A and B are shown apart, each in its own frame.
Chain A
């Protein structure tokens, strides 16, 4: 189901190699506003690299990516990249909260320094998103005082404080203890329901089935198959998809 005609990411013939190792080949797909796209695939299939190309944490070696109307691949200045990244939130497998800053400061550092908004507004935003992820009581805690699940929820709130136009999730639950996965997935589900454009790399197939508008299966650096989760999980067309899903 395409929720809107507005294209947020237009990816055509994306290619990425590390030295002679070609990890992404000929990736083409569009991601629409409000769409939740879940990328699945075996380790080393290139799904994380694909995600990291979307906010230019990895520089593509070929093809094009458009974020709205801007091409983000060629001749980018450092400043333009910073501006681009400020509009795209990212959540990492290892949380990457800033350990020397309290939760509140983790949430306000980018709005204050990148968006240049007044302190009161940055605080108000931080409180708002902390409430949404259910951690308002941890506002003055340091990251190391939080559980993994709490840290990841703060990391999501930190990204949301920039009011991004899209959110990227790079195996956001893979480093968590099993009993903590649920609380993070719930926040992600709420976010999906609220209409956020999301690209989610994950191993949580139930999340993909319940929340995704579209699932992309990658293997060997290419998109093998994509489609609605019901079709892809119940009626995979490609043999490689069938093999992968059978092993789960």
Chain B
């Protein structure tokens, strides 16, 4: 007697159908988060440095960037980059690069403000002491000021990364096979809804918890080094 898909129990259905496919989706979600996070981090740092630069023009460019990406919905940004940009520039853009670009650009705007706040939180005396020793502005920023911000920006950066993890679900609208997209497809195909969504929720939770765990380890190891 062969069990049909319709009368499979919760565990059997989860085990044979849902979990293997969701794991594929989860991998895509992880990939999206990691790549967008890394690009966003680097870009965010550049924008933060532009924001506090002594060159007015850089201030304005970065302020415009931050305002634009924080002031419009991420969903709109994703759709714009996937549908509008290829038309405007007459290029082909797959959903994966489009998703990564949108998430990175968006994430960078938020991280830039976190970095800027971190840099501004370092007492003025540090900058003066470094200058008084003859260190250049660039040396002072990269060797004295920015290293002191690492530990204090970990909590808000982790916050941003866990937001990013969950926001990757928005790229399901451009048919990118990440966790939520896969979930919706299975749900529709087998007409079983609550099982698939429970597993999807668990998938996001696991990624975010992993992230928090790594962050707390990192925070503790930095604490051992001088406590700044």
A residues at B contact (CB < 8 Å): 55, 57, 78-79, 82-90, 92, 94, 96-102, 109-110, 113-114, 142-144, 155, 158-159, 162
Report the bound CA distance from A55 to B128 in whole Å: 11
Which listed segment binds A: B15-23, B136-144, B165-173, B197-205? B136-144
Question: Which residues of the other chain, A, contact B135 by a CB distance below 8 angstroms?
Answer: 82, 109-110, 113-114
| Contact A57–B126 (Cβ < 8 Å) | no
Nearest-neighbour CB distance to chain A for B141, whole angstroms, equals: 12
Tell me which residues across on chain B come within 8 A of A100, comparing CB atoms.
147-148, 225-226, 228
Let me know if B226 and A86 touch, CB within 8 A: no
> Cβ of A88: which chain B residues have Cβ within 8 Å of it?
132
Q: How far is the CB of B225 from chain A (nearest CB, A)?
A: 7
Asked if A96 and B136 make an inter-chain contact with CB atoms under 8 angstroms apart, the answer reads no
Instruction: Establish whether residues B226 and A159, one from each chain, have CB atoms under 8 Å apart when the complex forms.
Output: no
The docked-state distance in angstroms from the alpha carbon of A237 to that of B130 is 40
Question: For A162, what are the chain B residues with a Cβ–Cβ distance below 8 Å?
Answer: 133-134
Q: Does B57 contact A (CB under 8 A)?
A: no
Q: How far is the CA of A113 from the CA of B140 in the complex (A)?
A: 10
Q: A78 contacts B136, CB within 8 Å? A: yes
Pairwise interchain contact B139-A113, C-beta atoms closer than 8 A = yes
Which residues 102-147 in B have Cβ within 8 Å of A in the complex? 123, 125-126, 128-137, 139, 143-144, 147
B227: interface (CB < 8 Å): yes
Can you list 28 contacts pairing A with B, beta carbon distance less than 8 Å? Answer: A57-B132, A78-B137, A79-B136, A82-B136, A83-B134, A84-B134, A85-B131, A85-B134, A87-B134, A88-B132, A89-B132, A90-B132, A94-B123, A96-B123, A96-B126, A98-B148, A99-B226, A99-B228, A100-B225, A100-B226, A101-B226, A109-B143, A109-B144, A113-B135, A113-B143, A143-B226, A144-B227, A159-B133
B residues within 8 A CB of A89? 132
Q: Is the CB of A86 within 8 A of B129?
A: no
* Chain B, interface SS category: helix
Residues of A within 8 A of B126 (CB): 96, 98
Instruction: Out of A78, A98, A159, name the residue touching B144 (CB < 8 Å).
Output: A98
Alpha-carbon separation in the docked complex, A144 to B125 (Å): 16
Q: Which residue of A lies closest to B139 (CB)?
A: A113
* Interface set of B (CB-CB < 8 Å, partner A): 123, 125-126, 128-137, 139, 143-144, 147-148, 225-228
By a CB distance below 8 angstroms, the chain A residues around B123 are: 94, 96
Least distance between B201 CB and chain A CB atoms (Å): 40
Chain A residues within 8 Å of B143, by CB:
109, 113
Which of A85, A102, A155 has the most chain B CB atoms closer than 10 A to its own CB? Answer: A85
Given A113-B139, A113-B143, A142-B227, A96 contacting B129 (CB threshold 8 A): yes
Q: Among A57, A82, A142, which residue has its beta carbon within 8 angstroms of that of B226?
A: A142
A84 to B147, CA, bound (A): 26
Q: In the complex, what's the smallest C-beta–C-beta distance from B81 to chain A, in angstroms?
A: 38
A230 to B227, CA, bound (A): 47
Tell me the smallest distance from the CB of A138 to a CB of chain B, in Å.
13
User: Residue on A with the closest CB to B149?
Assistant: A100
Contact call A96/B125, Cβ cutoff below 8 A? yes
Residues of A within 8 A of B125 (CB): 92, 94, 96
Q: How near does chain A come to B20, taking the closest CB pair, in angstroms?
A: 46
User: How far does the alpha carbon of A162 sit from the alpha carbon of B135 in the complex, in Å?
Assistant: 11
What's the minimum C-beta distance from B55 to chain A, rounded to whole angstroms?
12
Least CB separation from A52: chain B residue: B128
Chain B: minimal CB distance from A125 (Å) = 13
List, in ascending order, chain A residues with CB within 8 A of B134's CB. 82-87, 110, 114, 162
Q: Within the assembled complex, what's the spacing in Å between the Cα atoms of A89 and B131?
A: 10
Establish whether residues A57 and B133, one from each chain, have CB atoms under 8 Å apart when the complex forms.
no
4 nearest CB pairs, A to B:
A86-B134, A96-B129, A110-B133, A90-B132
Known: A96-B126, A99-B148, A113-B143. A85 touches B226 (CB 8 A): no
Evaluate contact between B133 and A114: CB separation under 8 angstroms: yes
Question: Shortest CB–CB separation between residue A167 and chain B, in angstroms?
Answer: 11
- Chain A residues, CB < 8 A from B225: 100, 142
Q: How far is the CA of A155 from the CA of B125 in the complex (A)?
A: 13
CB distance from A101 to the nearest CB of B (A): 7
Name A57's contact: one of B128, B136, B139, B227 (CB within 8 Å). B128
Q: Which residues of A contact B130 (CB under 8 A)?
A: 98
Assembled-state Cα–Cα distance A57/B129 (Å): 10
